[in-house]
Chain A
Amino acid sequence: MSDTLTYVYAIARDVGTVSGLRGVGGGPVRTLEIDGVTAVVSDVDRGEFEERALEERLEDLEWLAATARAHHHVVDTVGRDHLVAPLALATVYFDDDRVRSVLAEGRETFAAVLDRLAGRAEWGIKVYARGRRSAPAEEDRPRSGAEYLRARRKALRDTDSALDDAREAAGQVDDAVTALAAATRAHRLQDAQLSGETDPMVLNQAYLLPVERVDELRALVASYADHPRIRVELTGPWVPYSFAQAAQGAS
């Protein structure tokens, strides 16, 4: 039994050979091709990816982060110049022959996925409610406990209503970008502690956008720059992680 496994980063088209690129665990990235469909792969240490070890490691944030970064680096680098369909994190096979047989079996499916992604890139839009930091001034300091609580209740209600307004405005952004996009996909709203933002997130959406519409997208996002209720953040272009599922059509 070999002490390495073959880690698959992406299915791609017309890649040829890859040189100088390092993957998960530092191994050199190479390609396997069958009938015009290419798998972008590298060898990884078997012990690190044994079944039980893998499940435990995926809960180890440091390992997860390093692996995600390495995976992204490979997919993003190859994806700059080639059509790629990224694979889910940590897809491993016993050896290259197993990967070749998976390529051969799934040839038509992979071709269809790649066709759908051709000429398109993924963009992310995150919308935050703008914080209104209306801390009471010193002279407005409440004179009693009840007055303080009344003021605090009002402040909380105002914040809730600001959030509703922000969600509505975010919905308009979503509608406008969806009109430009070939497909959309919702991601979880990120907790403020994870996003590193103090303002609450009200929209976290991915869009599969034809490359020729990127200027329209940028102009649209720019038009919200001074919006009083929301702040719109654009990320991308991403390799189309959110739209590479074989079974999933445009949603």
Chain B
Amino acid sequence: MTGPGSGELEPRATTLFGDEEVALVDLLDRLLAGGVVLAGDLTISLAGVDLVRISLRALITSISPVERPGTLAARAERADRELEAGDG
């Protein structure tokens, strides 16, 4: 299934486990929140989203112990406050 002559349209192999065909994060989106859900003999709660977050949070922590900067709006608000303090 190749596109009509445009390399840019090919599915990209990206990111964390970049040497793989499919990005792990895309795969986990699908595997943990999708698929036919059957009650197996060993039932575990695959509360999909939470699970991805738990695992990926561990990953983030391990690769990037950097403080999260917060939302842009929060940053703008903070800048406002600093500005007022600076002007006053």
Residues of chain A touching chain B, judged by Cβ–Cβ distance below 8 Å, are 5, 8, 10-11, 49-51, 54-55, 58-61, 64-65, 68-69, 71-72, 85-94, 98, 102, 106, 110, 113, 122, 124, 145-146, 149-150, 152-153, 156-157, 159-160, 163, 185, 187-188, 190-191, 193-197, 204, 206, 214-215, 218-219, 221-222, 225, 233-238, 241-246
Contact = CB atoms under 8 A, between A and B. Distances in A.
Given A88-B35, A145-B86, A196-B14, A190 B25 contact: yes
B59 A61 contact: yes
A64 to B, nearest CB: 5
24 contacts: A51-B43, A51-B44, A59-B51, A61-B59, A64-B55, A65-B24, A68-B31, A85-B36, A89-B35, A90-B40, A92-B40, A92-B42, A106-B38, A113-B36, A149-B82, A152-B79, A153-B80, A160-B72, A187-B33, A188-B49, A191-B60, A195-B14, A235-B22, A242-B30
A4 B76 CA distance: 56
Interface in B1-36: 1, 3-4, 6, 8-9, 11-12, 14-18, 20, 22-36
Question: Which of B1, B36, B59, B80 gathers the greatest number of chain A CB atoms within 10 Å?
Answer: B36
B4 to A, nearest CB: 7
Contacts of B86: 145-146, 149
Contacts of B72: 156, 159-160, 163
B63 to A, nearest CB: 8
Interface in B44-59: 44-46, 49, 51-52, 54-56, 58-59
Interface residues of B, number: 59
B67 to A, nearest CB: 12
Contacts, number: 181
B15 A196 contact: yes
Given A72-B31, A160-B72, A160-B76, 17 more contacts: A61-B59, A65-B17, A68-B31, A69-B27, A87-B37, A87-B38, A91-B38, A92-B40, A122-B30, A149-B79, A149-B83, A185-B34, A196-B14, A196-B16, A218-B9, A238-B30, A241-B34
